[in-house]
Amino acid sequence: MADDRVKGPAAYFPSIEKKYGRPIAEWQRLVRERLPAKHMELVSVLKTEHGMGHGHANAIVAHVLAERRE
């Protein structure tokens, strides 16, 4: 039996969309626009400019940065 649950940072995406009312693609675009900033700088932007919690901001940033390494 396969485990089809989403794992890693993407597991937070449904709750992020629900809580902040914007699609994940929009949050990812905001992060990409600020590259090549460092991970914690990007997290800080989401927290201070958009009122996002640390865990949610970290999940989005981690996902975007992981895509760039693939």
SS3 57: helix
Q: How far apart are CA 25 and CA 6, in angstroms?
A: 17
Q: Is residue 5 part of a domain?
A: no
Residue 58 placed within a domain: yes
Residue 34 contacts residue 45 (beta carbons within 8 Å)? yes
Asked if the structure places residue 62 within a domain, the reply is yes
Domains: count for the chain: 1
* Dihedral class, residue 3 (left if φ above 0, else alpha if ψ from -120 to 50, else beta): beta
The parent domain of residue 29 ranges over 10-69
Is 18 within a domain?
yes
The dihedral sign for the CA sequence 13, 19, 21, 26: negative
Residue 52 lies in a domain: yes
Share of the chain above pLDDT 90, in %: 80
Question: Does residue 2 or residue 32 have the better pLDDT?
Answer: 32
- Residue range 18-29, pLDDT digits in tens: 999 999 999 999
4 within a domain of the structure (yes/no): no
The reply to whether 55 falls in a domain is: yes
